[in-house]
């Protein structure tokens, strides 16, 4: 049993992550296919590509082991409507692998309007309507949730190697929450320089990088909550931030539709423009590309690096 599996058991035993009542009935969706006239299940042939399968995708994350993009899809966002958020699996060329991987059935699933997402170890994490939710990355099975008391709009998320989650709350109170591996919730950072915090990422040294919507600040905190660096994107209104292997930061502006590149020790430069509602992007480390959800445009944009 590895350390992370032990922590998961601790969460369940402690009652922090409660197992869904019908978790044993959970079924993940399958890759696109159909039943032919003879009643045989047929996988979609390699000469067919399907694009789409998005509904207000606000964030994505990349699973290097599967070589697939996981796109978070919000439900219809109407109050009082049954939960219907889902997760799609997308091929690196943008075509659909599995239209509804998490969300093919609702048995044991609590997922309403997932926003930020992150992968760490064997788990997928997402923030969703006041909760941090965890899923088995191999099977998609829901593992449980941690409620974030006092939160308003949980938005971005990054998860450290030890399982600690850092989550932005983009409306009053504007702050960054910290959720430790045992589900204890605390305030990690609040007040200036935060100004409508949104995207959150881990850098290569285990520090926490946050971008604001209200300005172009790119703020790096150490794990103790101290600001150790402030850089600046080319434009404000920022939503997504990723840090690549060489320490370069990429920042997407949801307000102004640009992507800034900040190389270590250098000023920001714009590498892409005209991207509508450029939201919480992810980095495809295999194909070396940025993948950018376009919120209400129900699409993903791709930028080769």
* Average pLDDT of span 239-247: 97
User: What is residue 9's DSSP assignment?
Assistant: H
Residue 62 lies in a domain: yes
pLDDT at 197: 98
* Average pLDDT of span 175-182: 96
Residue 71 lies in a domain: yes
- Does residue 9 have a pLDDT over 50? no
- Residue 240 sits in which domain range? 3-24+52-304
Residue 29 lies in a domain: no
- Does residue 108 have a pLDDT over 80? no
196: domain CATH number is: 2.120.10.30
- Does residue 21 have a pLDDT over 60? no
pLDDT at 106: 85
Residue 42 lies in a domain: no
Nearest CA among 257, 204, 269, 183 for reference residue 231:
269
pLDDT at 78: 60
Residue 144 lies in a domain: yes
The pTM for the full model equals 0.90
Q: How many domains does the chain have?
A: 1
- Does residue 256 have a pLDDT over 50? yes
- DSSP per-residue string spanning 73-132: E-----TTSPP--EEEEE-TTSBEEEEEEETSS-TT---SSEEEEEEETTEEEEEETTEE
Residue 184 lies in a domain: yes
List, for residues 41-90, the tens digit of each pLDDT value: 999 889 888 898 899 999 999 999 999 999 999 977 666 666 789 999 99
Where do runs of H (alpha helix) occur along the chain? Answer: 3-14
List, for residues 271-305, the tens digit of each pLDDT value: 999 999 999 999 999 999 999 999 999 999 999 99
Contact assessment for residue 69 and residue 89, using Cβ atoms and an 8 Å cutoff: yes
pLDDT at 288: 97
Strands, E assignment, 121-264 = 123-128, 131-136, 142-147, 154-159, 165-169, 175-179, 185-190, 197-202, 208-212, 217-221, 227-232, 238-243, 249-253, 259-262
> Half-sphere exposure of 33 toward its Cβ, with a 13 Å CA cutoff?
10
Strands, E assignment, 9-52 = 33-35, 41-43
Residue 43 lies in a domain: no
Q: Which residue has the tokens 């791709």?
A: 302
Residue 177 lies in a domain: yes
Lowest model confidence (mean pLDDT) among 77-86, 95-104, 243-252: 77-86
For the chain, what percent of residues have pLDDT higher than 70?
Answer: 90
List, for residues 116-125, the tens digit of each pLDDT value: 999 999 999 9
pLDDT at 156: 98
Peptide bond before 193: cis, by omega within 30 degrees of 0? yes
> How far apart, in Å, are the Cα atoms of 55 and each of 18, 124, 296?
28, 19, 7
């Amino acid at each position: 049993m590895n350390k992370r599996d032990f922590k998961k058991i601790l969460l369940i035993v402690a009652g922090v992550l409660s197992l869904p009542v019908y978790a044993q009935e959970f079924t993940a969706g399958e890759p696109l296919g159909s039943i032919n006239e003879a009643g045989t299940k047929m996988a979609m042939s390699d000469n067919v590509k399907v694009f789409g399968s998005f509904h207000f995708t606000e964030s994505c994350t990349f699973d290097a082991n599967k070589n697939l993009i996981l796109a978070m899809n919000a439900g219809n966002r109407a109050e009082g409507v049954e939960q219907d958020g889902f997760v799609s699996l997308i091929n690196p060329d943008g075509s659909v692998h599995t239209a509804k991987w998490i969300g093919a059935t609702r048995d044991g699933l609590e997922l309403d309007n997932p926003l930020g997402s992150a992968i760490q170890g064997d788990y997928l994490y997402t923030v969703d309507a006041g909760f941090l939710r965890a899923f088995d990355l191999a099977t998609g099975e829901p593992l449980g949730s941690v409620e974030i008391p006092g939160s308003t709009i949980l938005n971005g998320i990054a998860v450290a190697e030890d399982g600690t989650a850092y989550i932005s709350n983009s409306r009053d109170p504007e702050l960054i929450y910290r959720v430790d591996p045992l589900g204890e919730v605390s305030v990690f950072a609040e007040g200036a320089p935060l100004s409508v915090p949104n995207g959150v990422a881990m850098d290569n040294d285990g520090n926490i990088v946050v971008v604001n919507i209200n300005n172009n600040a790119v703020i790096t905190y150490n794990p103790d909550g101290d600001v150790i660096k402030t850089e600046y994107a080319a434009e404000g209104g920022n939503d997504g931030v990723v840090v690549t292997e060489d320490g370069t930061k990429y920042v997407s502006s949801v307000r102004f539709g640009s992507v800034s590149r900040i190389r270590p020790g250098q000023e920001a430069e714009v590498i892409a423009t005209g991207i509508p509602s450029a939201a919480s992007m992810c980095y495809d480390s295999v194909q070396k590309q940025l993948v950018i959800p376009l919120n209400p445009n129900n699409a993903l944009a791709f930028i080769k690096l």
